[in-house]
Every structure is written in C-alpha cells, then in structure tokens.
Amino acid sequence: MELSAFPEFLLSAFDRFTVLAMFCTVFALVLDFMKRRKNCQNYPPGPWALPFIGNILQLWKKHGNVFSFEFGWTNMVILSGYETLKEALVKKSEDFADRPSLTIYEDVFRRVGEGIVFARYGHWWREQRKFSLSALRNYGLGKKSLEMRIVEEAGFLNEIFEGENGLPFDPHFSLNNATSNIICSIVFGNRFEYQDEKFLELLHTLGESFVLEGGFWGQLVNSFPFIRHFPGPHRKIFENQETFIRFLQETVTEHKVLWDPNEPRDFIDAFLAEQEKMKDDPKTSFRESNLIGTVIDLFAAGTETTSTTLRWALLFMVLHPGVQSKVHEEIDRVVGKERKPMLEDREEMPYTNAVIHEIQRFGNIVPISLPHQTYRDTEVMGYTIPKGTLIIPNLSSALFDENIWSTPHQFNPGHFLNSEGKFVKPEAFIPFSAGRRMCFGEQLAKTELFLFFTSMLQHFTFLLPENEPRPSYTEAEYGITRSPLPYRLCVELR
C-alpha cells in the first residue's frame, strides 16, 4: 500500500465504523421503543422514561394515585391511596392476584418449587394456601397450645434480656430467634437455643437476604436479568439462597427418618402425609421439592416481619417513655406483676393494643407490599391495565393518609382510640395488605406481637444508654421490609 493512500484508508475505515455505530444505536433505540410500547388505550399516565433505564432515577416521586413507571424494560403500575388499593386488592382481588416472574427467584423455583408467597395464581397456589392455613390451625394457630408456646418463648427471651445486666445491647437477633422459634415449633416441631451459632448464622443470612432481594441490587437483576451472570454484590443473593435451601433440605431429610404417616408431629409431617395421599395425581402440588419452597415461605414470613415489628416497638418505647409508662400502668392494672399476660387480656387493654397497632402503622414494616401482577385485563380508578402488568401496592400511602389519620407523621396511639378510650381500627390500617394475597400469617403475627410485647413490658423498663447517640426512627434500612438501623438499649427490671 502506498503511503499517500494510508490516510484515505483510515478515513474509509472510520466512515464504516461510524455507519456501523449509527446503525447499532438506531437499532437499539428501536428495540427499546418496541419493548416499551404499550398497546393499550387509557393506560395510567407516568413520567417520560429515559432509554434503557426507564424511570429508575424518578422511582419514588409520586405522580398520582394510579401511575405507570418503567424500571429498565419492566412496565409497572403503582397504586396509592386507600380507596385505590381497596378497589384493586379487595373489590377486584382476582384481577390483581397473580405474581410476576422474578429473576432472583428463578433458580429457587426450579429447585424447590414456588411455595405460596411467590407462586403464580392458580391451582397450585390455591391448593398450597388452603393446606398451609389448615395445617397451621392443626398445629396450634388459634389454639391455647400455641398461645402457651409463645408465652413460654417470651419467658426465654426475657431471660436473655435480663442476662445483659443493665448494660447496652442490640436486641436484634434475640428477637429474631424468639419469633423464629414459634414458626420452627410449628414447621419442624422444635426450637433453637439463643446461643446456637449455626442457627444465628442462618438468621443473619435471612436478614441479609431481605435487604438484598428487596433493595437496589435485587431490583436491578430483576429488570436486567443478564446482570446475574456477572460478578458483583448481587451474587450474594444467590449464595444466601443456597445456604438457606441447604439448611432446610438437611432438616427435612433428618425429619423423614422418624416420620410416621399415622402420627404427624408438625407441618413437615403433615405435608409428607398429603404427598403420599396425592402421589397418583399428576396435577398435585404436593411434591417434595415444593415442600422446601413452602417451608421457606413459612420460615421467612414467620420470622422477619414480626421480629422487625418488635425491633421498632422497643425503639419507639425508648424514644417515647411517656407511652411506655402508660403501657406499664395498664399491664399492672389488668395483668399484674405475677401472672403472665394472655391473649384474652387484649380486650381489657385498649391502650396497649392501640400502641401495638400504632407501632405497625408508624413502623411501616412492608411499605410497598410484595409485587402483584394482573391476572387478566382490568380497570382501576378508570384506568385500563393489561394482563401481565407488574403492580406495586403502595401500602404506605394508606398508613400515612392525611385524610384518615389525624397526625399521620407522628407516633400517636390515639389513632386507634375513640373519645371514650376504647380501641378502634380504621379501615385503612392494612399493614398485612388486603385481598387474596394478604399475608396468610396475619393471625399468628398478631398473637405473637401482643404476647411478646406485653411480656417484655411487664418485666422491664427499656431505656436509652447513657453517652451514646440517640437512635432515629426517621432513618431506616430498606429491603423487602423496612427495618430500623442498628441501635442499642438497656433494660431495667421493674
């Protein structure tokens, strides 16, 4: 090649590269447009989305009670306000009863089944939910036996707190252990000691998973599935899932050694018995793989949300000593200091009941619920939403609705008391969500919250440590749940 022709060759190569780059850019933009195109009239309005990333940078700005967003290439509709949530989740409950397919759980579902919480709406979900509710009742839910089990566990928890000898400590994992022991007694037939290092590590893994799966990295993987194959912080999600699955598989294997179909001891035994009974039905959801998925749901749902609520409870008590004193007075008057609080006392303790409900409201434990998906084409508040659209129910909007709560942004037990001091529960109080997908562990959670809370407050005064920063309830850690930042407190025997 002659030297004089070299610049012309470079220019020609540059032109070809420029044309190729322009073609690729146009192709990508057209693909992005096709992915975002909505063949639907009267679709909920939403802000203009950036190519490829959608509305990631605007996600928490409110644009109305029914508005659309794009997270990457995922179309979603966010529902806010109690009346909107009521129309969608209650009046049109089946229309909004489906769950989306989430990349972060694909491997789990392939290996251990869909369980209940994230199962697609249909025969399997109905069969597993019906069985699980029945089994929970059979093994104590709503019965005196389970109530006594919770009271006993509350005693163990109080011993741990008393053992701190008035020194500052973080109650996080003791509360986790206490609440998990209740669901463990139902599912596994046994509890775990508070010093069990293997179990404590499992609880740590569970808490970390709730933060990662519901946080930025989990949502990024769900929106851009190819990211899962690259290294990064999101890989911890899948490592934690593997740890949890391995623990439960080992537990079930050990359990089966002493299994007697004629004498079921717990939830696992009951599932195995149902599996044996339904083994010839090709459509049955009672498969051993799905047992692990269902147990994961029961264990996770029965541990994290209740313990997180109790963590908020103790934080609010040390920050509002006047409220704590009034709870002490009511417990002393109704229960006394010798007898253990029981569920039947709740009717005679309106103030304490109001405080527990306000903890749930103001703590805002699950701000946006779990994602739903439309089961069929439907309408809400006059807008058309196509089948298969990801739905985000904004429960916070109901719990902080200024048209319902007199002081929505203050911790105020008076929200649940009438002028006569009797307990009342506004219709917009929906921390467990509503409709067909509302938390099926609501009754268990309510029972645990009352018995653990009253037992702790009967025995202790909770205090802020001296010479330590005052904890804040305006800051929190967000994942699947909204958790208080780590804090320490002191206990003083009453």
The tens digit of pLDDT for each residue in 318-330 reads: 999 999 999 999 9
Give alpha helix (H) positions in 139-282. 144-162, 172-187, 197-214, 216-223, 235-257, 267-277
- How many Cβ atoms are within 10 Å of 380's Cβ, its own excluded? 23
Task: Kindly report, residue by residue over 243-291, the tens digit of the pLDDT.
Answer: 988 888 888 888 888 888 788 888 888 888 888 888 888 888 888 778 8
Q: Give the Cα separation of 232 and 315 in Å (integer).
A: 34
Asked if the structure places residue 305 within a domain, the reply is yes
Domain assignment of residue 29, yes or no: no
Contact predicate 174/161, CB 8 Å = yes
Band (pLDDT 50/70/90 cuts) for residue 22 is low
Percent of the chain with pLDDT over 90: 48
Q: What is the mean pLDDT of residues 205-212?
A: 87
Strand 378-380 versus strand 383-385 pairing type: antiparallel
Cβ neighbours of residue 305 closer than 8 Å, sequence gap 6 or more: 365, 366, 439, 445, 481
pTM of the model: 0.87
In a domain, 75, yes or no: no
Give Cα separations from 425 to 186, 307, 342 (angstroms).
Answer: 29, 22, 21
Query: Within a domain: residue 249?
Result: yes
Query: Cα–chain-centroid distance for residue 403?
Result: 26
CATH of the domain at 192: 1.10.630.10
Answer yes or no: is 67 within a domain: no
Chain segment 411-449, per-residue pLDDT in tens: 999 999 999 999 999 999 999 999 999 988 888 999 999
Position 31 in a domain: no
* Residue 421 structure tokens: 């001091």
Domain that holds residue 447: 92-493
Q: Tell me, yes or no, whether 419 lies in a domain.
A: yes
pLDDT digit string (tens) for 350-398?
999 999 999 999 999 999 889 999 999 999 999 999 999 999 999 999 9
Tell whether 1 is covered by a domain: no
Q: How many domains does the chain have?
A: 1
Sign of CA dihedral 234, 240, 246, 251: negative
